[in-house]
Structure 1
């Protein structure tokens, strides 16, 4: 389900069995996905070059850095300009629950 705020996410985590949470962003040049897999307590971070459709970077992390966490806390329609001139737009932030 698409979420719109940290409060909504906290409510979902407190009342449901969350499978994963994913935030999908894009800039003019980069697709950016940050996905938390709840059962493994790990984050998968993926960056893809939009122009060449090539993998830039993929990492699995136990914890997000402060800058990556900033991106993960964006919601559909939010925009953020990084220090490299990229303007990232959040296309979707959703939570998948186990029914």
Structure 2
């Protein structure tokens, strides 16, 4: 659980660094963990472990249509059905 909190803090810090001018904020809590990366390896299950936030259906086979059809989100703004993910942080010893 601590690793997820650290990932979330790093994610929020990175998102805050990009803040400029007109913008909006939305908070999305943890949804699930998978070894998928729908952008780098679309359709390929397995690989680097990622923590997912927002759209709860996100996986290796996600498409614009599949994400648009799933209206379930972990974001505080229920109209934000976007998919967000970050690599899971690991210690050099391999532990989380």
- TM tier relative to shorter chain: under 0.3
What's the TM-score once normalised by structure 1's chain length? 0.26
Which of the pair has the greater relative contact order for Cα pairs under 8 Å at 6+ separation? 1
